[in-house]
Amino acid sequence: MNENTASRGNDSHGHDASRPPGRDTRSRLRELALQLFAEQGYEKTSLREIAERLGVTKAALYYYFMSK
């Protein structure tokens, strides 16, 4: 059994290797955005605020979504 098969379910960082990269982040982004839209309204919710709450850059949001 080599190093790769010993940790078959996780990558070298301990993340679930069966999950596509970024799927969790994309889901978190969507959930937070929907929550903020419901609380503040779509127009009053900024991409900057979503990014800050998740601890990512605004540019990272555009990696997952093309627009607000």
| Domain assignment of residue 15, yes or no | no
What is the band of 8 on the pLDDT scale with cuts at 50, 70, 90?
very low
The domain in which residue 51 lies consists of 22-68
**Between residues 10 and 62, the one the model is more confident about:** 62
| Domain assignment of residue 41, yes or no | yes
Q: Give helix 23-40 / helix 47-54 axis angle, nearest 10°.
A: 130
| Domain assignment of residue 10, yes or no | no
Q: Among candidates 54, 10, 11, 9, which has minimal Cα distance to 64? A: 54
Pairwise CA distance, residues 68 & 47, whole Å: 7
Pairwise CA distance, residues 23 & 60, whole Å: 13
* pTM as predicted: 0.62
| Domain assignment of residue 12, yes or no | no
| Domain assignment of residue 8, yes or no | no
| Domain assignment of residue 5, yes or no | no
Query: What domain count does the chain have?
Result: 1
